[in-house]
Chain A
Amino acid sequence: MSVLRSLNQVAAVTWMNLRNVPARPSSSIVAMLGIAGVVAVLVAILSISAGFKKTLSGTGSADTAIVLRAGSSSELSSGISAEDARIISQAPGIAQGADGPLTSSELYVVVDVPKRTTNTDANVPLRGVQETAFEVRQSLSIVEGRRFESGLREIIVGQAASRQFAGLDVGADLQWGNNEWTVVGVFEDDGSLSESEIWTDTRVLQNAYNRGSSFQTVRARLADIDAFQTFKDALTADSRLDVTVEREADFYSGQSRVLTAIINSVGVAVTGLMGIGAIFAAILTMYAAVSARTREIATLRALGFGRIPIVVSVLIEALVLGVIGGIIGGVVAYYGFNGFQTSTLNWASFSQVSFAFAVTLPLLITGLIYALIMGLFGGLLPSVRAARMPITVALREL
């Protein structure tokens, strides 16, 4: 029953404290907005890496394998000969299409295209694919124009690339090196990394960039998800080959690691510093709140209220300010940044990745937890001061 009594005390004092909040609107608002600002910045920064990660991890499926030269961690540094590509395409575990195994031997180069926003050149991946690529990646579809014709210098452009970069509209002619290319279509691929790319016929690209008959990667659609091990074992056991085999999904999520780590550490550092500032604002607010109520607290103590309910109630008040600030910050981050389109350099491929900021539920929860931590630290010292105040001295306060 003493627990019930304590809860009664906490509830009564907390209720009183919260009823007092509107009496000090400016300092309460400053504390709430301080916390809201920190949460908004934290969530916004983390939403960059979440969006980037989402784009990369949304790329590639578990039932598609990518084959690179052994030791290569990126497509740019990989190389596969035509003969190796042929051997790979005959490995067990690959799904069969109407015209044979569903593999696409691909070439990957980087071209300069000006950004729409700054008009400065950025690296955009130009991927050469075989016709089977559209069967290997079944989520891909043309949303404007048509596919490129084999043998012609025609390109199709990912939807995100078309939004971010200038001059990639259907019908446009583009000059890269000594070659002129015509944009014939725009494709979408569920917001994945492919949408940041430009695609063309792999043979045409080999000629244009003097790559002979070599490729950089081979994509293979697996007969089913479980066929991966069979496929991988067959390739790694084949003495003619020296290759690395990964599921496409794993490959891309590995590629996002460097950038997300950088963004996350910047986010944590920036918001860590801002958080300290917000905690001080909360501390000052709660000190003001406690000192405005010195006599009330002393009266309660004289009536027999314990120290703990006083501490807990001041903490709850600070936490409530924190939660409100956290919610405001989360809402600002969501409406201000969620879906905001941008592009950045993917350090793993040295080419631009277009992606959207993703303010996800876990990020909002992280922001709210951070707000609670700020509120807790903001309320801690003032609550202890409130509880330790000698009753006889505090009763004389005006």
Chain B
Amino acid sequence: MSSVKIRGLTKTYMRGSERLDVLNNLDLDVKGGDFVALMGPSGSGKTTLLNLIGGIDRPNSGSIFVDNQRIDQLSDRQLAHWRSRNVGFIFQMFNLLPVLSAERNVELPLLLTNMAAAERRSRARTALSLVGLDDRASHKPAELSGGQEQRVGIARAIVTDPGLLLCDEPTGDLDRKAGDEILELLVALNQSQGKTIIMVTHDPHAAERAQRTVHLDKGRLEMDAAA
């Protein structure tokens, strides 16, 4: 259960000589155990905000605290280590490694721990069974449906038991039925395991499943509504 506190966050990109203010002096608080949907038009800065919270991008100014730890000042090495312990990423395109089986994909984050191989396998199996895919452990991503691939992606995100799950359009590449199943799974993880979830989405139907929806526009917080 991780809390997020953001103060005065600014992120600027240069496109040629043109300066793009993607996030502009943004403040945001997410309580531990929240399920927050980040919505907004394309280019509003949703994904950038998610990347900054996840420590895979750096702000120009402002501060980001996750569980009271300030992460924007960590070195690259410290950030990588922090990510491996505290955050689970769930991607729109699943980003599974095609040459590895589902189980091996889920096991990947555990390679960053000192866990023994047998323990890693057992944890990966447990994570796969939590997402209902224990019978697909040996399948390669190409042998799975889109919904199943995203389940493997979720299993990979939770296998290290992080407090924070960051989802970038997790249902964007799925049909409605498969998308609903993924959302069910996220809600379950939020409610039964207390995972804090921040989910970028375009889809109001997906956002409805969150406890709170935050709207971004032009790098600013436009609306913050509880469900």
Q: Report if A and B associate in a common complex.
A: yes
* Distance of A394 from chain B, by nearest CB (Å): 10
Q: Is the CB–CB distance between B99 and A299 below 8 Å? A: no
A295 surroundings in chain B (CB, below 8 A): 93, 95
Q: Is the CB–CB distance between B95 and A299 below 8 Å? A: yes
Q: Is the CB–CB distance between B97 and A304 below 8 Å? A: no
A305 surroundings in chain B (CB, below 8 A): 80, 112
Q: Is the CB–CB distance between B100 and A302 below 8 Å? A: no
The yes or no answer to B122 lying at the interface (CB within 8 A) is no
The yes or no answer to A391 lying at the interface (CB within 8 A) is yes
The yes or no answer to B108 lying at the interface (CB within 8 A) is yes
* Distance of A283 from chain B, by nearest CB (Å): 23
Bound complex: CA A19 to CA B108 (Å) = 15
State the total of A-B contacts with C-beta under 8 angstroms. Answer: 66
Knowing A299-B91, A391-B57, A392-B57, say if A304 contacts B109 (CB, 8 Å). yes
Bound complex: CA A16 to CA B107 (Å) = 13
Q: Is the CB–CB distance between B108 and A12 below 8 Å? A: yes
The yes or no answer to B211 lying at the interface (CB within 8 A) is no
* Interface positions of B from 32 to 88, Cβ below 8 Å from A: 48, 51, 54, 56-57, 76-77, 80-85
Q: Is the CB–CB distance between B108 and A303 below 8 Å? A: yes
Q: Is the CB–CB distance between B99 and A303 below 8 Å? A: no
The yes or no answer to A313 lying at the interface (CB within 8 A) is no
Interface of A is mostly: helix
Q: Which residue of the partner chain, among B48, B83, B100, contacts A303 with CB atoms under 8 Å?
A: B83
Chain A interface size, as a band, is 20 to 34
Bound complex: CA A296 to CA B97 (Å) = 6
Bound complex: CA A33 to CA B226 (Å) = 63
Q: Which residue of the partner chain, among A1, A20, A304, contacts B84 with CB atoms under 8 Å?
A: A304
Bound complex: CA A16 to CA B51 (Å) = 25
Residue of B nearest to A22 (CB): B99
Q: Is the CB–CB distance between A303 and B57 below 8 Å? A: no
Bound complex: CA A137 to CA B82 (Å) = 78
Q: Which residue of the partner chain, among B76, B83, B91, B99, contacts A20 with CB atoms under 8 Å?
A: B99
The yes or no answer to B113 lying at the interface (CB within 8 A) is yes
A90 surroundings in chain B (CB, below 8 A): none
Q: Is the CB–CB distance between B80 and A301 below 8 Å? A: yes
* Interface positions of A from 270 to 310, Cβ below 8 Å from B: 295-296, 299-307
A391 surroundings in chain B (CB, below 8 A): 51, 56-57
* Distance of A36 from chain B, by nearest CB (Å): 25
Interface residue ranges, B against A (CB under 8 Å):
48, 51, 54, 56-57, 76-77, 80-85, 89, 91, 93, 95, 97-100, 108-109, 111-114, 156
14 further contact pairs, Cβ within 8 A, besides A12-B108, A16-B100? A5-B111, A8-B112, A12-B111, A16-B97, A19-B100, A295-B93, A299-B97, A300-B108, A302-B56, A302-B89, A304-B82, A304-B112, A306-B77, A392-B48
Interface residue ranges, A against B (CB under 8 Å):
1, 4-5, 8-9, 12, 16, 19-20, 23, 295-296, 299-307, 390-392, 395
Which 9 pairs of residues, A with B, have the shortest CB-CB distance? A304-B84, A19-B99, A299-B95, A391-B56, A304-B83, A8-B111, A392-B57, A1-B114, A12-B111
